[in-house]
Amino acid sequence: MSTQSLFIPFSTIVIKEVSRFTRIWVQTILPPAISMTLYFVIFGGLIGPRIGTMNGFDYIDYIAPGIIMMSIINNSYANVVSSFYGAKFQRHIEEMLVAPIPNFIILAGFVTGGIVRGLMVGAVVTVVALFFTNLQLHSFTITFAVVLMTSIVFSLAGMINAIFANKFDDISIIPTFVLTPLIYLGGVFYSVDLLPEFWQKVSAFNPVLYMVNAFRYGMLGESDISIVHAFIMLIVFTITLLIISLQLLSRGVGIKS
Amino acid sequence: MSALEIKNLNKVYSNKFAALKGIDLNVNQGDFFALLGPNGAGKSTTIGIVCGLVNKTSGTVKVFGHDIDTDNDAAKACIGIVPQELNFSQFETCLRIVLNQGGYYGIKRRIAMERAEKYLGKLGLWERRNECSRNLSGGMKRRLMIARALIHEPKMLILDEPTAGVDVELRRSMWDFLIELNQQGITIVLTTHYLEEAESLCKNIAIIDHGKIVEDTSMKQLLSKLDKETFFFDLVDPINTLPDLNGLKSKLIDPTTVEIEILRKDNINQVFDVFSNNNINVCSMRNKSNRLEELFIDLLSNNIKTD
């Protein structure tokens, strides 16, 4: 297929995805804004002053990047897992399967939908954060690159979850029992240096730790982990999940008999 | 060149169920072809493999000469599929569903819009284009799937039970539309449970049962194999006993209805002679079932015996 004939199906999937989640903005955009406001009020406004500073920053300034990143991770993942599983459940994924669309275009379309929702929710939460703290920006390039790569990683993870899901329970189990613990233990609310040495080593296996710290570096210029190390891990996660997703799609796992 | 060429196609599902056991099938360009079979015979599996929704176990499938293993995109571009089950988003409008399908086939929005207007209009859905698809009636949803299947103007249209659950009037109008498409040169492959539909529309026919093709011929040839027909005779006045009908298999269904099985070699006039001689007046006569249906049942029962 020519580049133009690839762009048309790609843009069709992206427009469909974006219009899907914006049509139900009360379910997709508003809830993270409200829950993140509560995080800022409780952890930043009420508990934060009692904690004092973290690595030389006011507690609310320290947790703000993590809270923004948390909303990006959750929403990128949720968008792809719910949309792709919904397409499987209603069987309209067949509309794409019968058409001459390469698998990487289907994947790129859904992942772009996840990225757009992640960025949109991230922007809303950033605006909310401005009501509670003065956000800093150490490096726009690093900040944007981390946001983009993180939303790609979790959109791909959402896609893999949706491919394997056979019922609606299957798309809530991973976010509840895997994603949420990873986020909460990924240094959103604390510096990993506070942990005993053993748990610091365990935390090194948590991908969210690299994303939160790289994003915090982009905003505050402060990170528990080397920024180069964080980017290498992000690239490794992206490539690994990309290969797995494409393999699953090409074998028709979960979508073809 | 054949529109569809299937050779030694096998499908064994992960639960070890062999849905297709080496089927061969050939559909000519411009044909109106019926693929018939009872539930679970392998019709939908065959169609699923041709359209890319089911992975085959072995065998080859070519669509207008394009092998689905080596030239799948070109093969897919030739096919429009109307599946048995509804498979569009219930939250999208009719127009959006059709336009999106055009987008998946790489059709520019302007051209897709022109075609959407053409096909939704022909199928009586243009007025309801901005309505959410879940609000449509069952018949409208089926017509929406036909419009969607035509958006890329395929060379071959495959319809899996397109008129299931559709009222008689609408079914007739869908038949007219399919005949019009066929006359324009589009090859049509149809599966249906309504054998009257297959008999009225299709030139050639294949019957599949237990994953095997048990008959693959022209409709004319198949119907010529029919060696007996069963008729109902409606009588003007009631009778209590049937006269001897020269040994023909007969049954008095109720006092004014007689069922008689007549072999091709027999002369139907003899029945009227017997009725006249016994002062029995006939007011109407009809086939017990569709001719193709009688053959279909015979073929399937023979297949069960040989299995």
The ipTM of this complex is 0.88
Find the residue in B nearest to A252 (Cα).
B55
At residue B113, the pLDDT reads 96
% residues pLDDT > 90 (chain B)? 56
Instruction: Give the list of residues 6+ apart from residue A18 with CB closer than 8 angstroms, or none.
Output: A113, A116, A117
Amino acid in the structure at residue A124: V
Tell me: the pLDDT tens digits for B24-74?
A: 999 999 999 999 888 888 999 999 999 999 999 999 999 999 999 999 999
Tell me: the pLDDT tens digits for A111-159?
A: 999 999 999 999 999 999 998 888 888 999 999 999 999 999 999 999 9
Q: Interface of chain A against chain B, CB under 8 Å? A: 1, 4-6, 8-9, 11-13, 16, 20, 23, 87, 90-92, 94-102, 252, 256-257
How many CB atoms within 10 Å of residue B214?
A: 18
Tell me: the pLDDT tens digits for B124-175?
A: 899 999 999 999 988 899 999 999 999 999 999 999 988 877 777 888 888 8
State how far the Cα of B48 lies from the Cα of B26, in Å rounded to an integer.
16
At residue B289, the pLDDT reads 65
Q: Report whether pLDDT(B196) > 80.
A: no
At residue A79, the pLDDT reads 96
Residue B296, min C-alpha distance to chain A (Å): 29
State how far the Cα of A54 lies from the Cα of A218, in Å rounded to an integer.
17
Domain parsing of chain A, residue ranges:
3-251
Size of interface A-B (CB pairs under 8 A): 77
pTM listed for this prediction: 0.86
Nearest to B108 among A8, A256, A257 (CB): A8
Which residues does chain A have with pLDDT short of 50? Answer: none
Residue B123, min C-alpha distance to chain A (Å): 20
Please state which of the ranges A112-126, A241-255, B221-235, B285-299 shows the lowest mean pLDDT: B285-299
CATH topology of domain B2-224: Rossmann fold (3.40.50)
State how far the Cα of B279 lies from the Cα of B60, in Å rounded to an integer.
64
| Residues facing B294 on adjacent strands | none
CB–CB of B89 and A256 under 8 A?
Answer: no
Residue A3, min C-alpha distance to chain B (Å): 10
Nearest to B13 among A8, A100, A257 (CB): A257
State how far the Cα of A120 lies from the Cα of A25, in Å rounded to an integer.
11
Domain parsing of chain B, residue ranges:
2-224, 228-306
Nearest to A96 among B13, B48, B104 (CB): B104
Q: Report whether pLDDT(B305) > 60.
A: no
State how far the Cα of A245 lies from the Cα of A162, in Å rounded to an integer.
10
At residue B262, the pLDDT reads 84
| Residue B91 near residue B132 (C-beta atoms within 8 A) | yes
State how far the Cα of A100 lies from the Cα of A156, in Å rounded to an integer.
22
Contacts of A252 in chain B (CB under 8 A): 55
At residue A196, the pLDDT reads 87
Q: What value, to the nearest 5°, has the Cα angle with vertex A116 and ends A112 and A117? A: 120
Structure tokens at B113: 């819009």
Please state which of the ranges B48-62, B234-248, B282-296 shows the lowest mean pLDDT: B282-296
- DSSP H helices, chain B, are 43-51, 72-77, 94-104, 109-122, 138-150, 168-183, 195-201, 219-224, 269-277, 291-306
The hierarchical CATH code for the domain B228-306 is 3.30.70.1560
| Residue A69 near residue A150 (C-beta atoms within 8 A) | yes
